[in-house]
């Protein structure tokens, strides 16, 4: 009886780069594109206008356009963080904003994106 030894070479090399995507990069108009933009398109655009230059029509119901929010003088990174970590809808106000359940990383990228929409006068 012969014994055959099979050697299995297991390639453990990961192809590609580990998640080292640049968080964001500024375009010529100063709006941060990249992960934050992708995230808001995916997670927020059902209820909000998320693109720069978009504003809500007069009788709009639902979430305010992100550029409109960004331009409010009371909006800061802190206020956005507070808003995005809370649940605003409940049995009495079911159409208010649900808690988006963001990771810390997503939160940072989304806040960067929102602040970048601010029009500096």
Three-class HEC string of the chain: CCCCCCCCCCCCCCCCCCCCCCCEEECCCCCEEEHHHHHHHHHCCCCCCCCCCCCCCCCCCCCCCHHHHHHCCCCCHHHHHHHHCCCCCCCCCCCCCCCCCCCHHHHHHHHHHHHHCCCCC
CB of 29 to ligand HEC, least distance (A): 20
Is residue 86 a contact point for ligand HEC (CB under 6 A)?
Answer: no
Stretch that binds ligand HEC, among 4-12, 18-26, 27-35, 58-66 (CB under 6 A): 58-66
Is residue 69 a contact point for ligand HEC (CB under 6 A)?
Answer: yes
> According to CB under 6 A, which one of 76, 96, 99, 105 is a site residue for ligand HEC?
96
Which residues bind to ligand HEC, rule: CB under 6 A?
40, 43-44, 46-48, 62-64, 69, 79-80, 83-84, 88, 95-98, 100, 110
């Amino acid at each position: 009886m012969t014994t055959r030894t099979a050697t299995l070479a297991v390639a453990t090399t990961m192809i590609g780069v580990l998640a080292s995507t640049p968080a964001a990069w500024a375009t010529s108009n100063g709006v941060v594109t990249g992960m934050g933009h992708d995230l808001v398109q995916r997670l927020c655009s059902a209820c909000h206008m998320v693109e720069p230059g978009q504003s809500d029509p007069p009788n709009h119901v639902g979430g305010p356009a992100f550029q409109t929010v960004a331009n409010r003088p009371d909006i800061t990174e802190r206020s956005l963080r507070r808003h995005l970590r809370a649940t605003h809808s409940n049995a009495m106000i079911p159409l208010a904003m649900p808690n988006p359940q963001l990771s810390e990383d997503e939160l940072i990228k989304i806040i960067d994106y929102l602040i970048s929409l601010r029009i500096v006068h």
